[in-house]
Structure 1
Amino acid sequence: MFLSCSDNSNEYDQILPNVSVEETIFLNNPEYLDLQIVGGWAYSKGGISGIVVYHSGIDSYVAFERAAPHIRPKACSQMYVKDGLIMICPCDDSRFSILDGAPLTDGIRYAAKQYRVVVLGNTLRITNY
């Protein structure tokens, strides 16, 4: 058994609330046609402030929470995608990689919150379990 004495072990969960995520995306739906090509991305409902889904490779997708991971959710903390590669927080212009959620701005300690994506034919199932 491992015990941690760190007083910030759950700080990430204190910034972003833990909500149930269970979304289904049908890739044939016109609003998700960009997800049919590698490098394509789309916004989806769900999560705290929405989800961004990125087609990272053949039959490979990643999904991230749009709520910036370093700011408690508020009106300006919904990240948007720029140039198909970077997620930006409008509150402070912090940047995160759409490939893996890693922070690209100095001083940011948390990566974008990632969700699990299961590919079932032309359907994506996005969950946080």
Structure 2
Amino acid sequence: MPVSHLFRHTTIVATLLPGLLLTLMACNSGSTVQPQIPLAAVNELLVLTDQQNASLRFDNGAVYHKGGVRGLIVVRQNASTYLAFDRNCPYQPQDTCARVFISQLIQLHDPCCQSRFSFTGQPQGGPATLPLRRYNTALSGNNLTITN
């Protein structure tokens, strides 16, 4: 390709690129940004054999536990996999009523904003578009450690 063609293509790209970037940024400027859930140190121990954790003896069982910003929800996926989520709803988390509850053991639900979440923490309805904040879990015998 002759140098003059290369120069012309480079000039066209250099001229169009800033306009394209501004257009893309303008498209995102109208999007709703959800505030972040505040950070909280989490270092909790659940003893799975305790009676208050009896629901965690079955797949898709869930219990409340202390910790996090507004408390934790712990879900058993199977005998070796547990998930732990903050109960603070990611949609308008600063609202005092933004708390997720276990709803009929089929989903997680925030009655304040009507957001619904799966037992994997993913949004399934309502205005929330972000998943629940998930914490690390480690199983050792009958002890489940939850940390961040």
RCO higher in structure (CA 8 A, sep ≥6): 1
| Counterpart position of 1:117 | 137
Higher Cα Rg: structure 1 or 2? 2
After superposition, where does 1:18-37 map in structure 2 within 5 Å? Answer: 18-37=39-58
Which of 74, 93, 110 aligns to 1:89? It is: 110
- State the TM-score, normalized to the length of structure 2: 0.73
Task: Calculate percent identity across the aligned residue pairs.
Answer: 28
Give TM-score scaled by structure 1 length: 0.83
Aligned positions of 1:1-129 closer than 5 A: 14-98=35-119, 100-105=120-125, 107-128=127-148
Q: Hey, which of these two has a bigger chunk of helix by percent?
A: 2
Please, what is the CA RMSD of the aligned residues? 2.0
Cα shift readout 1:20-77 (whole Å, capped 9, x = no counterpart): 1111000111111111222211000000000000110121111111010111233311
Contact 2:113 2:127 in 1 (8 A): no
**Residue type matched to 1:123 in 2?**
N
| Structure 1: gaps spanning 5 or more residues | none
The range that moved more, 108-117 or 43-52, is 108-117
Q: Point out where structure 2 has 5 or more consecutive residues left out of the alignment.
A: 1-24
SS of the residue 1:31 aligns to: helix
The 1:89/1:106 distance shift into structure 2, 3 A limit, reads: closer
CA apart distance, 1:107: 4.5
How many residue pairs end up in the alignment? Answer: 119
